[in-house]
Amino acid sequence: MEIHQEASSEAQAPSALSNAEIADRLAGLAQLLSTQKENPYKVKAYHRAAARIRSLSDSLDELVREDADLTQFPGIGEAIASAIREIVLTGKLRKLETLRGQAAPEIASLADYPRLDPKRVLRVYKKLGISSIESLRENLESGEIESVLGLRMAQHIRQGLSEAHAMLLYRADDLRDAVEEFLLTKCAVKAVQVVGACRRRVEVIEEIAFVIGTDDFPAVVRRMQRYGGRTTLLGSSSDSAVFALAAGITLRLRLCSARAWGLCLVTETGSEAHLKKLEAVTGRLTSLPGEPAFTTETAFYRNFGLAYIEPELREGHDEVERAGMGSLPKLVTEADIRGELHAHSTSSDGVHSIEQMAAAARERGYEYIGISDHSQSLKIARGVSVDDLWQQIRYIDKLNAKSDGIRILKSSEVDILADGSLDYPDDLLHELDYTVCSIHSRFGLNREHQTERLMRAMDNRYFNILGHATGRLLLKRPGYEIDMDRVVEHARQNGCFFEINSSPDRLDLSADNARRAAAAGVLIAINTDSHSMGELELVRRGLDQARRAGLAKSAVLNCRCWQKLVSLFRR
């Protein structure tokens, strides 16, 4: 496919600001405010507004000039709306200019790096006796920051200095929706379907891709350059165009005829590895004039004797072979989930009470919800003391006696201490219905020690589910190192289980690790780790991972009723 640069005839006059430029100024203000003694919520509000604005399809510049109400957008209140008006109408933000003028140069320059936490950077500056972004970069590359201030600090600095070119799937989903609506309402496309990594539900997204149907592709490409005020076209051909979105990732549009729609979805959705395996079966993945071109994906698969392959499975594992043998798994769905096994309450760091969490679970049609607050050693998350947990157990018994349509399970997210012991005495653990056991400290232990630590913890008879198995935070920090095969085997022998933690920045187990655990016959809970009622919805994020791992409902712990679980949880 030929890609060539194309100058836009409809590009706006340079005086109009793009949403990205407006967002940069708001983020800069947030940065400088945070070095002052400013209310952290205000700082966060500016950062959040900046992130929202980067995904917005409407041009804020135009809206301001039309005198539209900017508070119609979530995350934009009166103060931020008036800041945006000032930026558009004067090209400046007085508050930002003032703060920049007052700040020392080493602080002023932080306004240009919104992903760096100024407080942390100033700590590095002080410790290493440096005062510029250049020195910061040099000390990062030489390993000085890591050796003096630790791995986490080095990771933060590395992330903050790099250009954003990826985002978490749940944020990409919002952007996908906004772009799709823009294509349908502002670009007059006739048909649109998201494809690529987004459709496969990959947890970190670098490109959003759509297959579109239209009679005038060049017009669509021109209009898309007006997205968010101004969006850069990186290149285009007669049937394809790539844009740099303000949010830091790319957007790819692929023109496709109705006649070949199904084939196009297949070739644009599968990973490279998947397409290679598919091509080995079908001979080729293009259609020549006069040949069948497949209007639907199902027609395509059927033609080659294959069962329909769910998009989440199109990664090039064994799905093509299994589609040929008719032995693909029936993937777990939201309707199969019967309860929640990892939720926090106000007893530790949650925002809603046990009763509220239970009500929210009942509202979702669940049969049970496990309250697993943090254990005593996790002071930072207001871990529950031994005495308080005893009380909570009796309290939940009382609530259940009143039984109003949902069973509350007595649980705890028990810290796995550095030596592999659990954070409560056995007599207390014995009173719980089950436990989720997690690592929240000493991430720096080496692979051997970390693996031993987990295996020792699993030797405790009250260990049931391993919480967020690797501790990874997507786009923030890799997990700690463990020998996953040994841990999976040990879990299998000891009757322990894993969770897929549905928090969008964890999604831990990863799909690959979940696939491994399931292959060994170890059941997996899809847990939200909710800290509020609303977060129970995150189960959809965990389901994405479970489906990518090829899990049927029989492989999922919380697709079982409580009676079944009782017999599975050794106590």
* Interacting residues toward Zn ion by CB under 5 A: 413, 438, 529
**Cβ proximity of 408 and 369 under 8 Å:** yes
Query: What span, in angstroms and rounded, lies between the C-alpha atoms of 123 and 264?
Result: 52
Residue with smaller CB distance to Zn ion, 214 or 503: 503
Q: Least separation, in Å, of the C-beta of 439 and Zn ion?
A: 8
Residue with smaller CB distance to Zn ion, 438 or 450: 438
Residue with smaller CB distance to Zn ion, 223 or 374: 374
Burial of 398 (0-12, 13-18, 19+ CB in 10 A): exposed
Q: Which residue has the tokens 């395996």?
A: 277
Strand locations in 102-182 (E): 167-168
Query: What span, in angstroms and rounded, lies between the C-alpha atoms of 115 and 156?
Result: 9
Q: Least separation, in Å, of the C-beta of 516 and Zn ion?
A: 21
Q: Least separation, in Å, of the C-beta of 225 and Zn ion?
A: 44
Residue with smaller CB distance to Zn ion, 8 or 353: 353
CA angle 182, 185, 188 (to 5 degrees): 105
Q: Least separation, in Å, of the C-beta of 352 and Zn ion?
A: 14
Instruction: Count CB neighbours of 498 within 10 A.
Output: 26
Q: Least separation, in Å, of the C-beta of 467 and Zn ion?
A: 5
Q: Least separation, in Å, of the C-beta of 440 and Zn ion?
A: 6
- Residue burial 3-31, b: 16+ Cβ < 10 Å; e: rest: eeebebeeebeeebbbbbbbbbbbbbbbb
Q: Least separation, in Å, of the C-beta of 125 and Zn ion?
A: 32
φ/ψ bin of 12: left (φ > 0), alpha (ψ from -120 to 50), beta (otherwise): beta
Q: Least separation, in Å, of the C-beta of 100 and Zn ion?
A: 40
φ/ψ bin of 431: left (φ > 0), alpha (ψ from -120 to 50), beta (otherwise): alpha
Question: Per the structure block, which two tokens stand in for 314?
Answer: 């199109």
CA dihedral 156, 159, 161, 167 (to 10 degrees): -140
Q: Least separation, in Å, of the C-beta of 292 and Zn ion?
A: 52
Residue with smaller CB distance to Zn ion, 55 or 345: 345
Query: What span, in angstroms and rounded, lies between the C-alpha atoms of 528 and 503?
Result: 6
Query: What span, in angstroms and rounded, lies between the C-alpha atoms of 266 and 301?
Result: 9
Choose among 281, 357, 362, 288: nearest CA to 325.
Answer: 281
Q: Least separation, in Å, of the C-beta of 508 and Zn ion?
A: 10
Residue with smaller CB distance to Zn ion, 208 or 416: 416
Cis omega (within 30 of 0) on the bond before 509?
Answer: yes
Query: What span, in angstroms and rounded, lies between the C-alpha atoms of 177 and 274?
Result: 26
Residue with smaller CB distance to Zn ion, 328 or 343: 343
Residue with smaller CB distance to Zn ion, 282 or 438: 438
Residue with smaller CB distance to Zn ion, 230 or 342: 342
Q: How many CA atoms lie within 13 A of 147 on its CB side?
A: 6
Instruction: Count CB neighbours of 141 within 10 A.
Output: 10
Residue with smaller CB distance to Zn ion, 451 or 530: 530
Query: What span, in angstroms and rounded, lies between the C-alpha atoms of 369 and 449?
Result: 33
Residue with smaller CB distance to Zn ion, 166 or 473: 473
Residue with smaller CB distance to Zn ion, 227 or 480: 480
DSSP state of 98: H
Q: Least separation, in Å, of the C-beta of 546 and Zn ion?
A: 18
Three-state DSSP string of 257-303: CHHHHHHHHHHHHCCHHHHHHHHHHHCCCCCCCCCCCCCCHHHHHHH
Q: Least separation, in Å, of the C-beta of 183 and Zn ion?
A: 39
Residue with smaller CB distance to Zn ion, 435 or 438: 438
Identify residue 407 by its one-letter amino acid code: R
Query: What span, in angstroms and rounded, lies between the C-alpha atoms of 105 and 102?
Result: 9
Q: Least separation, in Å, of the C-beta of 349 and Zn ion?
A: 9
